[in-house]
Protein backbone atom coordinates (compact mmCIF):
# COMPACT_ATOMS: atom_id res chain seq x y z
CA UNK A 1 0.00 0.00 0.00
CA UNK A 2 1.35 3.40 -0.98
CA UNK A 3 1.05 6.02 1.76
CA UNK A 4 2.30 9.51 2.55
CA UNK A 5 2.75 11.41 5.80
CA UNK A 6 1.20 14.88 5.54
CA UNK A 7 1.74 17.94 7.73
CA UNK A 8 -1.74 19.41 8.38
CA UNK A 9 -0.31 22.91 8.96
CA UNK A 10 1.53 23.19 5.66
CA UNK A 11 -0.54 20.64 3.69
CA UNK A 12 2.81 19.35 2.38
CA UNK A 13 4.10 15.78 2.57
CA UNK A 14 6.83 15.01 5.07
CA UNK A 15 7.33 11.68 3.30
CA UNK A 16 5.80 10.17 0.18
CA UNK A 17 7.30 6.71 0.72
CA UNK A 18 6.01 5.79 4.16
CA UNK A 19 6.73 2.51 5.93
CA UNK A 20 4.64 1.47 8.93
CA UNK A 21 6.30 -0.54 11.70
CA UNK A 22 3.39 -1.50 13.93
CA UNK A 23 4.38 -5.02 14.93
CA UNK A 24 6.94 -5.79 17.62
CA UNK A 25 9.21 -7.43 15.04
CA UNK A 26 8.99 -4.51 12.58
CA UNK A 27 9.65 -1.95 15.34
CA UNK A 28 12.64 -3.92 16.60
CA UNK A 29 14.16 -3.99 13.10
CA UNK A 30 13.37 -0.36 12.24
CA UNK A 31 16.11 1.02 9.99
CA UNK A 32 18.78 -1.48 11.04
CA UNK A 33 20.73 -3.02 8.19
CA UNK A 34 20.13 -0.14 5.77
CA UNK A 35 22.83 2.00 4.24
CA UNK A 36 20.71 5.13 4.09
CA UNK A 37 17.25 6.56 3.71
CA UNK A 38 15.88 8.43 0.71
CA UNK A 39 14.78 12.04 1.35
CA UNK A 40 11.20 11.12 0.44
CA UNK A 41 11.07 8.13 2.80
CA UNK A 42 10.16 7.72 6.46
CA UNK A 43 9.24 4.95 8.86
CA UNK A 44 6.62 5.25 11.61
CA UNK A 45 7.08 3.09 14.69
CA UNK A 46 3.94 2.77 16.83
CA UNK A 47 3.41 2.43 19.66
CA UNK A 48 6.84 3.78 20.56
CA UNK A 49 8.28 6.30 23.02
CA UNK A 50 12.01 5.70 22.51
CA UNK A 51 14.42 4.70 19.76
CA UNK A 52 18.12 3.94 19.49
CA UNK A 53 20.55 4.27 16.62
CA UNK A 54 22.92 1.50 17.73
CA UNK A 55 24.47 -0.33 14.79
CA UNK A 56 23.09 2.21 12.30
CA UNK A 57 25.33 3.55 9.54
CA UNK A 58 23.83 7.02 9.12
CA UNK A 59 22.25 9.90 11.04
CA UNK A 60 18.48 10.45 11.09
CA UNK A 61 15.90 13.00 12.14
CA UNK A 62 13.49 11.74 14.80
CA UNK A 63 9.98 13.13 15.23
CA UNK A 64 7.92 12.11 18.27
CA UNK A 65 4.14 12.28 17.87
CA UNK A 66 1.38 12.05 20.48
CA UNK A 67 -1.83 10.05 20.00
CA UNK A 68 -3.36 12.92 18.02
CA UNK A 69 -0.42 12.98 15.60
CA UNK A 70 0.99 16.22 17.00
CA UNK A 71 4.75 16.74 17.20
CA UNK A 72 5.89 16.74 20.84
CA UNK A 73 9.65 16.52 20.20
CA UNK A 74 11.91 16.97 17.18
CA UNK A 75 15.52 15.80 17.08
CA UNK A 76 17.72 16.57 14.10
CA UNK A 77 20.78 14.71 12.88
CA UNK A 78 20.74 11.96 15.52
CA UNK A 79 24.01 10.14 14.89
CA UNK A 80 24.64 6.41 15.32
CA UNK A 81 24.93 5.05 18.87
CA UNK A 82 22.44 7.44 20.44
CA UNK A 83 19.16 7.02 22.34
CA UNK A 84 16.18 9.35 21.95
CA UNK A 85 12.96 9.35 23.95
CA UNK A 86 9.84 11.36 24.69
CA UNK A 87 7.57 10.17 27.49
CA UNK A 88 4.49 11.87 25.98
CA UNK A 89 4.95 10.23 22.59
CA UNK A 90 2.82 7.51 21.07
CA UNK A 91 4.69 7.14 17.79
CA UNK A 92 8.07 7.94 16.30
CA UNK A 93 8.85 9.00 12.74
CA UNK A 94 12.40 8.31 11.55
CA UNK A 95 13.55 10.08 8.40
CA UNK A 96 16.70 11.16 6.60
CA UNK A 97 18.84 13.67 8.48
CA UNK A 98 17.87 17.23 7.61
CA UNK A 99 14.31 16.39 6.51
CA UNK A 100 12.60 18.07 9.48
CA UNK A 101 14.42 21.35 8.79
CA UNK A 102 13.86 21.20 5.02
CA UNK A 103 10.15 20.49 5.50
CA UNK A 104 9.75 23.20 8.20
CA UNK A 105 8.52 20.79 10.89
CA UNK A 106 7.56 22.61 14.10
CA UNK A 107 6.48 21.51 17.55
CA UNK A 108 2.71 21.16 17.64
CA UNK A 109 2.38 20.37 13.92
CA UNK A 110 -0.20 17.63 13.37
CA UNK A 111 0.58 14.82 10.94
CA UNK A 112 -1.71 12.31 9.29
CA UNK A 113 -1.25 9.34 6.99
CA UNK A 114 -2.75 9.65 3.55
CA UNK A 115 -3.35 6.05 2.45
CA UNK A 116 -3.44 6.95 -1.22
CA UNK A 117 -0.08 8.68 -1.12
CA UNK A 118 0.44 11.77 -3.23
Within 8 A by CB and 6+ apart from 100, the residues are 61, 63, 74, 76
Identify the pLDDT of residue 86.
98
Overall number of domains in the chain: 1
The model's pLDDT over 60-69, given as tens digits with 9 standing for 90+, comes to: 999 999 999 9
Compute the chain's Rg from CA coordinates: 13
Average pLDDT estimate for 24-31: 74
**What predicted TM-score, i.e. pTM, was given to this entire model?**
0.90
Instruction: Name the H helices within the chain.
Output: 24-29, 99-102
The phi and psi torsions of 24 (rounded to 5 degrees) equal: -55, -45
Domain carrying residue 32: 4-114
Burial (Cβ within 10 Å: 0-12, 13-18, ≥19) of residue 49: middle
Residue 108 is part of a domain; what is its CATH number? 2.60.120.1140
Amino acid sequence: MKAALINARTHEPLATALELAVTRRARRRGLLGRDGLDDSAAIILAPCTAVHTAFMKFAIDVLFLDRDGCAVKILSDVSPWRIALAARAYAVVEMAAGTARRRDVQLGDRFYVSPEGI
